């Protein structure tokens, strides 16, 4: 069971109070009509599927019913931070290239 | 011909589990007003507008509640609160809020969808432990705190009263299930449902 810090409730709660809401920081294109099918498909369906540091949205469905972002290590499941949707992550993967090769060390 | 409105747990009143005297009492409050309030906590006019009607500002500290006279106000989220008040004042307070508040806000009467329980007695902390993963120990959850959490796989708004008892605001549609659950969880202490919800 993960313990997730909700930045609105300001405390750690059990994972069962939350639901996962997908990868964070994906912006809806401002002008969808101007996109090619491929670009629209990328926006709708394709995700980074990171091995290591991953930024994702969680929904505190049984608590304050608000969305927020979490940085989680998908290898260790360790949650490194919670932050607001409007904010940028404080913890990032070190190098995209090595992360793709699966050589990304734990952020700690 | 007269009619009466029954509280959601009307047919549970008087039910008891366990032997001997009931150490845990589940009291279903008479029908009362539940108003869901939303607004901007950074807007001083909004906070003062609510205060002018309710007598207290909406608490902006996460997981806290406040009360003034016969009205209680619970933090549900950063811009959302629940007001509990006597049924006799429900319509008046709702329309007063609409008169006093302006801009981006909402007041929704959710009285029909919820019911208020007060659970008290020696085994009550243990009974809650069986029902939720949240830590209701007084070190973590003193009087004046409230929390929305998973409760027996349903959800509840739990708050701690000054007298050491707990209030539970639960959904009407889950009331039968949760009353059955609580009677079972409280059986080892002796547990009884009482109420006086007839209007
Ligand atoms: Zn929360």
Average pLDDT, chain B: 94
Residue A102 domain flag? no
Residue A85 domain flag? yes
What is the C-alpha separation between B116 and B111, in angstroms, rounded? 10
Share of chain B above pLDDT 90, in %: 91
CB-based contact A64 B78, cutoff 8 Å: yes
Nearest-neighbour CA in chain A from B151: distance (Å)? 9
Domains of chain B: 12-30+112-195 (3.30.1360.120), 33-111 (3.30.70.1520)
Partner residue facing A62 (CB), from B63, B77, B148? B148
- Per-residue pLDDT averaged across A70-87, rounded? 97
Nearest-neighbour CA in chain B from A10: distance (Å)? 7
Residue A100 domain flag? no
Distance (angstroms) between ligand 1 centre and the Cα of B81 equals 13
Q: Does A23 touch chain B (CB under 8 A)?
A: no
Task: Read off the pLDDT of residues A13-56 as tens digits, 9 standing for 90 and up.
Answer: 999 999 999 999 999 999 999 999 999 999 999 999 999 999 99
Q: What is the interface size between A and B, counted as CB pairs within 8 Å?
A: 37
- Number of domains chain A contains: 1
The predicted pLDDT at position A32 comes to: 94
Residue A72's domain comprises: 3-94
Q: Which two tokens stand for residue B5?
A: 């409105």
N-to-C CA span, chain A: 21
Residue A10 domain flag? yes
What is the DSSP secondary-structure string of B17-61?
ESSSS-SEEEEEPPSEEEEEEE--TT-HHHHHHHHHHHSSPPP-S
The predicted pLDDT at position B1 comes to: 59
Q: How many residues does chain B have?
A: 199
Residue A108 domain flag? no
The predicted pLDDT at position B152 comes to: 96
Partner residue facing B150 (CB), from A16, A65, A66? A16
* In the predicted structure, residue B197 carries a pLDDT above the cut 80: no
Residue A17 domain flag? yes
CATH number for the domain spanning A47: value is 3.30.2270.10
């Amino acid at each position: 069971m993960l313990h997730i810090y909700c930045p609105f409730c300001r405390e750690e709660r059990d994972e069962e109070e939350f639901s996962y809401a997908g990868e964070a920081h994906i912006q809806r294109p401002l002008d969808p009509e101007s996109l090619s099918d491929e670009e629209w498909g990328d926006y709708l369906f394709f995700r980074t599927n990171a091995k290591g540091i991953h930024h994702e949205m969680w929904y505190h469905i049984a608590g304050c019913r608000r969305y927020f972002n979490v940085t989680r290590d998908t290898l260790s499941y360790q949650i490194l931070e919670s932050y607001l949707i409007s904010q940028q992550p404080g913890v990032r993967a070190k190098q995209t290239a090595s992360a793709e090769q699966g050589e990304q060390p734990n952020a700690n | 011909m007269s009619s009466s409105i029954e509280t959601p747990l009307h047919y549970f009143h008087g039910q008891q589990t366990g032997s001997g005297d009931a150490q845990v009492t589940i009291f279903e409050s008479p029908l009362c007003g539940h108003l869901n309030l939303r607004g901007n906590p950074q807007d001083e006019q909004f906070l003062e507008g609510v205060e002018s009607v309710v007598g207290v500002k909406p608490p902006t500290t996460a997981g806290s509640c406040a009360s003034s006279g016969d009205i209680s106000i619970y933090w549900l989220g950063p811009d959302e609160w629940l007001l509990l008040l006597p049924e006799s004042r429900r319509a008046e307070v709702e329309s007063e809020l609409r008169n006093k508040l302006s801009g981006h806000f909402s007041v929704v009467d959710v009285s029909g969808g919820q019911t208020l329980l007060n659970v008290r007695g020696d085994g009550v902390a243990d009974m809650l432990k069986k029902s939720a993963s949240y830590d209701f120990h007084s070190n973590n959850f003193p009087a004046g705190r409230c929390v929305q959490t998973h409760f027996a796989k349903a959800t509840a708004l739990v708050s701690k009263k000054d007298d050491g008892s707990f209030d539970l605001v639960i959904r009407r549609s889950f009331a039968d299930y949760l009353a059955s659950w609580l009677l079972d969880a409280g059986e080892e202490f002796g547990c009884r449902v009482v109420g006086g919800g007839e209007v």
